[in-house]
C-alpha cells in the first residue's frame, strides 16, 4: 500500500520550485520506505517528531517525559540535525515544516557561546547535507552565514581553534574548565569547512581547516596515536593525556580517512596518517577478553604508559570506518579487525538484560571473573547513540551480510521496548535492569539525525540509497559529496 504522506517516485524539486527558491542543478530522488522494517523506522521517526513538534518546536532537544525542552545552543538542533533524515525517508509534511522553520527562524545572532565542534557537525553539516540532496540555495546561504561566524575560532597563534565561540560577537575562547581544546574536536571540522569552500567557491574556509590538518600531521605521535588534548596557543598536545578511540579522540581518526576520500584520494599524508594510526591500534590498543577472546580497543593512560581495558560505545564507529577504508583499497587486514570489533560491540548489547549497550564497557583480561565484560554503575546509561548502527550499515552496504540487519533490528526492538515513551524516545540510566531502566527524560538530536537514519539505511533494499562512492558522511551522518581533488 502506498503511503500518501511520503513522496513516491519524485524528489522535493517541486516543493522547492513552488516556493520560488533558487536551485542548483542537483536534486536527489528518494521514494520512501520499501519494506516493513523501513516502515517501522519511519513510524518511530514520526512518533519522535510528533513529540518534538508538540513540546520542543524550535528548541534544541525534546524532554519527552516532562513535556518540555532542553536548550543547548538555541539553534533548533533537532530540526537542522534531522532534516536530511526526513528528506531521505521521503516525508513531505515534516520536510516542509523543517525547511520553513530553517528559512524563517534559524538565525545565528544569539548572544551566547556555542561549541565549535558540535555546531559544525550538527548545524553546518546538517545545512550542507540537505543542500547537496535538494539543491536548495537557501540552505547554502544559511551555511555561509554560520561559517563566517565560526571562522574567528581559528584566530589563535597556531591556527588550532578555540573550542567555544559567541556567534553574535564572534569572539572565541577556550572552555572555562581548561586552556586546551579536544584533539577530536579540532580535527573534526575539515569535511564541513572544506565542503563549504567547494560549494561557495571561497577558499577561506578550507584554508583554515587544512592548516590544522597539516599542523597535526607534523606533531610527534605514539605510533600514529594522538593524545586527546591540544593547546591552541602552543599548538602542542597535552603531556600525559589519554590516548583513546573513545571520547575526545575518536573522530580524529575517522576524518583522516574521510578527508582523503572527500578529496578524491589525492592528499597522501591523510591516508598515511590513518594507516599509521591503525598500525598503532593493532600494536598498542587491541587486546582480547577472557574467557571467550572478544577483541576490543582499550585506552592508554599517562601518555601511553598504562593500559586500561575500557571502551566507550563511541569506539563502535571504528568497524564502519575500517570497512570503508578497505572498500577503497586499504589493507584487507583492516576488514578482519572491523568484523571482530563489530562482534564485540554487539556483545555489549546482547549481554545486557535490556539488549541495549552501556555508555562504557570494561573488559576482563586478567581472568578475575568468568565474565568477558562488566559495567560500572555510573557507566550503565544509554543515550540512544548511533555508532554501532552506523558500523552495521557500512559493513552491510559494502560487503553484504544480512546478520548485520538482524542485529540492527534486535536493537531497534530494544529501543521500542525500553526507551519509547508517550511523547518520543528517552535516554535511560540503567541498561542492566530491564525492570528499572531509569528514564533520563532526554532525546538528543542525534537520535533523529543519526540513529534512525542509519537504521533506515541499514534496512534499505537499495544498497546505493546513499552511494559511498559518491558521498562521504560526516561525524553526524550528514552526506557530503566526494570531489576529484
All three cell numbers of 107, joined, read: 538565525
Catalytic residue among 387, 390, 444, 476: 387
User: Within a 10 A sphere around the Cβ of 310, how many other Cβ atoms?
Assistant: 19
Task: Look at residues 359, 376, 381 and name the one whose alpha carbon lies nearest to residue 436.
Answer: 381
Catalytic residue among 359, 390, 450, 476: 359
Give the CA count within 13 Å in the CB-facing half-sphere of 303.
Answer: 5
Q: Tell me, rounded to whole angstroms, the distance of Cα 407 from its chain centroid.
A: 20
The H-or-E segment that residue 272 falls in is: helix 268-280
Told to judge if 340 belongs to the known catalytic residues of this protein, a careful annotator would answer: no
Query: Taking a C-beta distance cutoff of 8 angstroms, is the pair 458, 392 a contact?
Result: yes
| Spatial separation of the C-alpha atoms in residues 442 and 207, rounded to whole Å | 37
Told to judge if 450 belongs to the known catalytic residues of this protein, a careful annotator would answer: no
Told to judge if 185 belongs to the known catalytic residues of this protein, a careful annotator would answer: no
Identify each DSSP E strand in 247-356 by its residue range: 286-288, 295-297, 299-301, 306-308, 310-312
With a CB cutoff of 8 Å and minimum separation 6, the contacts of 226 are 183, 216, 219, 237, 243, 249, 252, 277
Radius of gyration over every alpha carbon of the chain, rounded to an integer in angstroms: 21
**What backbone torsions phi and psi does residue 263 show, to the nearest 5 degrees?**
-95, 30
Identify each DSSP E strand in 90-142 by its residue range: 113-115
User: Within a 10 A sphere around the Cβ of 366, how many other Cβ atoms?
Assistant: 8
With a CB cutoff of 8 Å and minimum separation 6, the contacts of 40 are 412
Told to judge if 94 belongs to the known catalytic residues of this protein, a careful annotator would answer: no
The owner of cell 572491523 is 338
Omega before 330 within 30 of 0, i.e. cis? no
Q: Which residues of 43-79 are buried (b: 16+ CB within 10 A; e: fewer)?
A: ebbbbbbebbbebbebbbbbbbbeeebbebbbbbbbb
Catalytic residue among 136, 185, 195, 250: 250
| Spatial separation of the C-alpha atoms in residues 432 and 275, rounded to whole Å | 37
**Residues facing residue 308 across a β-bridge:** 299
Query: Taking a C-beta distance cutoff of 8 angstroms, is the pair 394, 450 a contact?
Result: no
User: Within a 10 A sphere around the Cβ of 283, how many other Cβ atoms?
Assistant: 12
Distances from the Cα of 224 to the Cα of 164, 178, 189, 252, 481, angstroms? 27, 25, 20, 11, 28
- Catalytic positions, please? 118, 250, 359, 387
Amino acid at each position: 500500500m502506498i503511503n500518501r504522506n511520503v513522496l513516491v517516485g519524485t524528489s522535493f524539486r517541486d516543493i522547492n520550485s513552488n516556493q520560488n527558491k533558487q536551485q542548483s542543478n542537483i536534486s536527489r530522488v528518494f521514494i520512501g520506505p520499501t519494506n516493513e522494517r523501513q516502515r517501522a523506522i519511519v513510524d518511530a521517526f514520526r512518533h519522535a517528531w510528533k513529540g518534538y513538534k508538540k513540546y520542543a518546536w524550535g528548541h534544541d532537544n525534546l524532554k519527552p517525559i516532562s513535556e518540555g525542552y532542553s536548550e543547548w545552543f538555541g539553534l533548533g538542533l533537532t530540526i537542522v540535525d534531522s532534516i536530511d533524515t526526513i528528506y531521505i525517508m521521503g516525508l513531505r509534511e515534516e520536510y516542509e515544516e523543517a525547511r520553513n522553520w530553517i528559512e524563517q527562524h534559524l538565525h545565528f545572532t544569539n548572544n551566547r557561546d556555542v561549541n565549535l565542534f558540535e555546531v559544525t557537525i550538527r548545524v553546518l553539516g546538517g545545512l550542507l547535507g540537505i543542500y547537496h540532496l535538494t539543491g536548495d540555495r537557501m540552505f547554502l546561504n544559511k551555511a555561509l552565514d554560520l561559517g563566517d561566524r565560526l571562522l574567528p575560532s581559528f584566530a589563535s597563534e597556531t591556527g588550532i581553534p578555540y573550542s567555544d565561540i559567541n556567534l553574535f560577537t564572534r569572539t572565541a575562547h577556550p572552555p572555562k574548565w581548561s586552556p586546551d581544546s579536544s584533539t577530536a574536536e579540532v580535527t573534526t571540522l575539515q569535511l564541513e569547512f572544506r565542503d563549504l569552500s567547494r560549494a561557495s567557491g571561497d577558499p577561506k574556509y578550507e584554508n583554515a581547516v587544512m592548516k590544522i590538518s597539516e599542523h597535526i600531521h607534523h606533531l610527534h605521535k605514539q605510533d600514529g596515536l594522538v593524545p586527546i588534548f591540544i593547546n591552541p596557543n602552543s599548538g602542542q598536545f597535552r603531556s600525559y593525556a589519554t590516548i583513546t578511540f573513545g571520547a575526545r579522540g575518536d573522530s580524529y581518526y575517522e576524518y583522516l580517512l574521510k578527508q582523503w576520500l572527500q578529496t578524491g584520494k589525492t592528499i597522501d599524508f591523510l591516508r598515511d596518517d590513518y594507516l599509521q594510526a591503525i598500525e598503532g591500534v593493532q600494536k598498542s590498543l587491541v587486546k582480547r577478553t577472557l574467557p571467550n577472546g572478544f577483541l576490543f580497543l582499550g585506552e592508554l593512560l599517562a601518555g601511553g604508559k598504562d593500559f586500561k581495558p575500557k571502551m566507550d560505545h563511541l569506539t563502535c564507529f571504528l568497524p564502519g570506518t575500517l570497512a570503508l577504508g578497505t572498500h577503497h583499497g586499504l589493507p584487507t587486514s583492516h576488514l578482519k579487525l572491523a568484523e571482530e570489533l563489530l562482534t564485540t560491540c554487539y556483545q555489549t548489547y546482547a549481554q545486557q538484560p535490556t539488549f541495549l549497550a552501556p555508555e562504557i564497557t570494561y573488559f576482563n583480561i586478567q581472568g578475575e571473573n568468568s565474565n568477558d565484560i562488566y559495567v560500572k554503575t555510573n557507566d550503565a546509561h544509554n543515550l540512544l547513540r548511533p555508532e554501532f548502527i552506523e558500523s552495521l550499515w557500512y559493513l552491510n552496504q559494502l560487503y553484504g551480510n544480512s546478520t548485520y540487519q538482524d542485529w540492527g533490528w534486535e536493537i531497534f526492538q530494544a529501543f521500542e521496548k525500553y526507551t519509547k515513551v508517550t511523547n518520543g524516545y528517552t535516554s535511560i540510566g540503567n541498561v542492566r535492569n530491564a525492570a528499572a531502566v531509569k528514564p533520563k527524560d532526554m532525546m538528543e538530536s542525534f537520535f533523529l539525525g543519526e540513529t534512525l537514519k542509519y537504521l533506515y539505511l541499514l534496512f534499505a533494499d537499495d544498497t546505493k540509497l546513499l552511494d559511498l562512492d559518491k558521498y562521504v558522511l560526516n561525524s553526524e551522518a550528514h552526506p557530503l559529496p566526494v570531489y576529484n581533488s
